[in-house]
Structure 1
Amino acid sequence: MSLYDLESREQSGICQQVSNLSPRNREVEAYIRDTVNTREYHQEIINKLSGIIQIPSESYDDLGRIGEDERWNVFFQIEDYLKTTYPTVFQNVRLDHANTHGLILTWEGSVSPSKAKPILMLAHQDVVPVLSDNLKDWTHPPYDGYYDGEIIWGRGATDDKGYLISIIESLDLLIKSGFKPKRSVILAFGCDEEISGENCGRPISNFLHQKYGDNGIYLIMDEGSTGIQREFNQSFAMVSVAEKGYLDVGINVSSTGGHASTPPDHNVIGILSEIVVAIESNPFSGAVTPKNPMFNFLECAAIHAPVSNFPTQAREKLPMASQGDISSQQQLSRILDDMRYYFRTSQSVGKVKGGVKINAIPETASTLVNLRLAVETSIAEIEAHFESLIIPIAQKHGLAFEGFHSLCDSSAKRKICLFSVDALEPAPVSPIDTESFRILSGTIKNVLKPLGTDDELIVTPYLMPANTDTKFFWASTGNIYRFTPLNLVHSLNRAHTTDEFIRADEFVQEPLFFATLILNADDAVEP
């Protein structure tokens, strides 16, 4: 019998599923379920989401300091909207501000945080900008929050205003039900997640870390990139327990200029092009290792998906890969090539700059390469890889070379210089053998349904290929989970592009999920 046969999962202990977890407070749970399932409630919460979408809270890469750049002022409108829309919540929570626009709502529990660590739910108020040239491509204007009877359209519907409304709505429901928490509940809303989070995400983290200390938070919930999906003809609830790392590599090439009528054999643009070709010709190799949460997902799929739908070759390679066989790990990556960027570092040349006039030899050329780091690698390894590719090119053209940890003096001539921007190591992998993960899994089982006709929705660890504000909270807890409790399709419901949307029938159920999670986490507090 194979290790990944369905019949052997009890003996192997792989991908064990918990039972549905219902709150002990049946009265509160019934109140919330009954409320959420009414037509009047559906229209009410849809209107709330539509209203916040109508506030164009765009964050821009070139924003100045808060208090100096007037474009930040739109977030005052978001705060006012939330206070007006949720008066009951703001009457029962303590509101703190982190760097003006970072909002921290604390619903104090009856038990001290030293005995019952708080639960923290994150969301962000900002959205990526809508380009004016693309307005014509939207089915409905991006900031109308239009509801067509099935879908709510608009920038932020999925990323991340739907999530924000859902978690604050869950508090509103719980407060109105008469529930009194033992464990404190914290909601924190950043203002700049789409541009790295330094203006709100980090200040929020600093505020909470100063208050609760290392490992002072019970668990963190934030948006996820997958949610509920059907893979290998099986429904999975994909909880991201880690994120890939992030790095932008800058490359500057400088040399002497001159008149275009007497050019050198290779000017800086040609040399930079040679570098780009070398980068793209040497992509990072992939390997499916047990360090990656995706390995756990594949094990779950091998056990629970129909045998005919899971690749036979992958099933055969998993046991050896789990024991550290490098060849099997590399072969798994090739077999599952359509998922390759979950298993390897990605690289994308995103910006190129060089030359100002057609009849002048350019003196400088530069590029920026965006990388998302596999969980098994590090920034130092990526930097060493780039240096190994580029040093021979510098030598070939008689150029000086300065690596990542040099001063990179841009005024110096005849040189190739490398530098790093926004460097972030891969996130620590949150454990799945903890009480908090079991509570989250049980809540998912209790509230959410499989796609199609499956008998069971399988909860599995997963990997977030992008980054969220959770990157600032590693010291606050090891239990960080990124999960959106709905089916995300068409590139995360077209987040970051035209016609972003969220399906109303799924959205209206989200507050039930978050409220149930709060109740279940509260039940774990020692009496």
Structure 2
Amino acid sequence: MSEQFNQRRDKRKISSWFLYGTLAIGLASAFTALFNNTVRSSNPPELDIYSPGAEHGICQQVPKLSPRNKQVEQYVREKVESVEYHGEIINKLSGIIRIPSESYDDLGPIGEDDRWNIFFQVEDYIKTCYPTVFDNVKLDHANTHGLILTWEGSVPPSEAKPILMLAHQDVVPVLEENVKDWTHPPYDGHYDGEIIWGRGATDDKGYLISIIESLDLLIQSGFKPKRTVILAFGCDEEISGENCGRPISDFLHEEYGDDGIYLIMDEGSTGIQREFGQSFAMVSVAEKGYLDVGINVSSTGGHASNPPDHNVIGILSEIVVAIESNPFPGKVTPKNPMFRFLECGAVHAPQSSFPQAVRQKLSLVAEEDSASQEQLAQTLNDMRYFFKTSQSVGKINGGVKINAIPETASTMVNLRLAVETSIAEVEAHYESLAIPIARKHGMAFAGFHSPCSTAEKRKICMFGVDALEPAPVSPVDAEPYRILSGTVKNVLKSLGPDDDLIVTPYLMPANTDTKFFWALTKNIYRFTPVNLVENLNRAHTTDEFIRADEFVREPLFFATLILNTDDIVG
């Protein structure tokens, strides 16, 4: 196995959010094209359960949920709506953006690599901004820089499970050569009267400031929680979360045990968007899986004047061609939260705006008709990676000198696993492609669960790195989701002049720190309560920003969610 692949893989510091933004933006164009190109029969189809006006229980919406404590709610609302408050919270976000808490792929252990020390500045900053919060919470550290703030309720966690809200302190690095392309320097935290600019404005310092601000507002109002509220801030979400995300999860699991948390909130995917002429609050209830596949091909070397018919580079190329020629099939199934989103669009969007080609397939998909599931995925080809496993050959290495026959060649393939699949299925598929090539060239083969020994000189090896199964799909018929939905309805506004805001399940193709928290609760929801526009507000790329008029209202959402979850405690 080459030294390159003995090292940890490059973490997805840019690709995940950028890919997701591209997919989300493609959503509108996909359905627009479908609608414009769909030939409608002169005779309308027979009324089905997805037709407006039909009797159904699909994508039912809960009413607005207002806290019972009207005095506290009014205090928070009035504060959030004041111009003075707007200036205060915008300054807090600008200040934390000015701390370049970048996380790098090659960071050494915490305590040994001085680049981690920037997170001491982040901790000091939020302590300075929120002295009242830190006077009322218990602060614990997980692996030095993972911060856990616990606001203890009057009812024991054994009787009222805590609510947990996550955010991360780190940001993806800004390359020095790209600084000149920013409208405002990435770490100035510039506010132009409408927009707050800078790395982390959207991902994820705006979210972090909003959730801690919500505690500050509630404490100042005099509110005393019955249900314990926990905030947890990771330090390395952008490079997989092993240094802070996992230690935070381990700490909380030791404290509260399996299924010991009532509800987890974390950063979302598309937030509030308008599709099919309808406003949606898109709550991600699952994430795709993740797998990096390494492939090594080894053989004997020699002088280039006497080459074999196929050397390791050529053989590796055959494997790459086989992989790209045999992509994973796509299908839309009821297990995928995106199917729920399509249902919501079918029953709530204006009939003239929702593609008839999609509507006609939904009933058959719900009935597990395999052909219809595949056909609908083909119809939705522009958003295919919501419905299929993606694969991208991202690295290749081989040869050191032009006149020497290379002895090894290697590649890495990045995959994001569809909700319906598994790591084992992906491994079996890749092995089925490589084994015939190994036989063709008289080479030994070592699959994912076999040791890649050096005994054989001619050998093909496959192995997995950073394997993560698709996340469990969080329930949308459970009490926590209903409370979340009612809070959305109460606090947030539609984007259209005359439509309602529809809360819908959604899928997150990228991964967050929630991947470490599956044992703590089934109720994991990823949602950012703002309209994320222009490639998720350009997270991970040049000119990241957040609109101030939306950001200043985020704490109202989180404070209201805390109040609403507290109301159901006996």
Give the structure-1-normalised TM-score: 0.98
Query: Aligned partners of 2:166 and 2:224: how far apart in 1?
Result: 21
1:173 to 217, 220, 224: 217
Alignment pair present for 1:284 and 2:284 = no
Contact 2:398 2:410 in 1 (8 A): yes
2:339 alignment partner in structure 1: 295
Alignment pair present for 1:110 and 2:165 = no
2:302 alignment partner in structure 1: 258
2:406 to 362, 376, 396: 362
2:266 alignment partner in structure 1: 222
Structure 1 residue identity aligned to 2:207: Y
Contact 1:122 1:188 in 2 (8 A): yes
Query: Aligned partners of 2:243 and 2:68: how far apart in 1?
Result: 40
2:49 alignment partner in structure 1: 3
User: What count of residue pairs does the alignment treat as equivalent?
Assistant: 524
Contact 1:24 1:523 in 2 (8 A): yes
1:124 to 168, 189, 204: 168
1:324 alignment partner in structure 2: 368
Deviation (angstroms), 1:316: 0.6
Q: Which runs of 5+ in 1 are unaligned?
A: none
Deviation (angstroms), 1:413: 2.2
Deviation (angstroms), 1:217: 0.5
Aligned partner of residue 307 in structure 2, secondary structure: coil
Query: Aligned partners of 2:358 and 2:454: how far apart in 1?
Result: 49
Deviation (angstroms), 1:121: 0.0
Larger mean Cα displacement after TM superposition, 129-138 or 375-384 = 129-138
1:475 alignment partner in structure 2: 519
Alignment pair present for 1:451 and 2:495 = yes
Deviation (angstroms), 1:412: 4.7
1:381 alignment partner in structure 2: 425
Contact 2:279 2:501 in 1 (8 A): yes
Q: Which runs of 5+ in 2 are unaligned?
A: 1-46
Query: Aligned partners of 1:137 and 1:115: how far apart in 2?
Result: 53
Alignment pair present for 1:242 and 2:282 = no
1:97 to 104, 129, 141: 141
Deviations 1:298-335 (A, max 9, x none): 10001011112211111011001101100011111111
Aligned partner of residue 53 in structure 2, secondary structure: helix
Alignment pair present for 1:372 and 2:416 = yes
Structure 2 residue identity aligned to 1:73: N
Structure 2 residue identity aligned to 1:507: F
2:73 alignment partner in structure 1: 29
Structure 2 residue identity aligned to 1:290: P
Deviation (angstroms), 1:410: 5.7
Query: Aligned partners of 1:192 and 1:170: how far apart in 2?
Result: 23
Deviations 1:172-209 (A, max 9, x none): 11111111111110000001111111111111111111
**Identical-residue share of aligned pairs (%):** 80
Alignment pair present for 1:14 and 2:47 = no
Aligned partner of residue 481 in structure 1, secondary structure: strand
Query: Aligned partners of 1:181 and 1:275: how far apart in 2?
Result: 58
Contact 1:234 1:454 in 2 (8 A): no
Aligned partner of residue 341 in structure 1, secondary structure: helix
Deviation (angstroms), 1:43: 1.2
Q: What is the root-mean-square deviation of aligned Cα atoms in Å?
A: 1.1
Query: Aligned partners of 2:118 and 2:454: how far apart in 1?
Result: 37
Deviation (angstroms), 1:71: 1.0
1:64 alignment partner in structure 2: 108
Structure 2 residue identity aligned to 1:496: H
2:474 alignment partner in structure 1: 430
Contact 2:52 2:351 in 1 (8 A): no
1:186-205 paired onto structure 2 within 5 Å: 186-205=230-249
Contact 2:304 2:405 in 1 (8 A): yes
Give the structure-2-normalised TM-score: 0.91
Larger mean Cα displacement after TM superposition, 160-169 or 148-157 = 148-157
Q: Name the CA shift for 1:83/1:318 in 2 (closer, same or farther; >3 Å).
A: same
Deviation (angstroms), 1:409: 3.0
Deviations 1:391-427 (A, max 9, x none): 1111222221110011123685211100000001011
Contact 1:226 1:484 in 2 (8 A): yes
Query: Aligned partners of 2:485 and 2:94: how far apart in 1?
Result: 30
Structure 2 residue identity aligned to 1:420: G
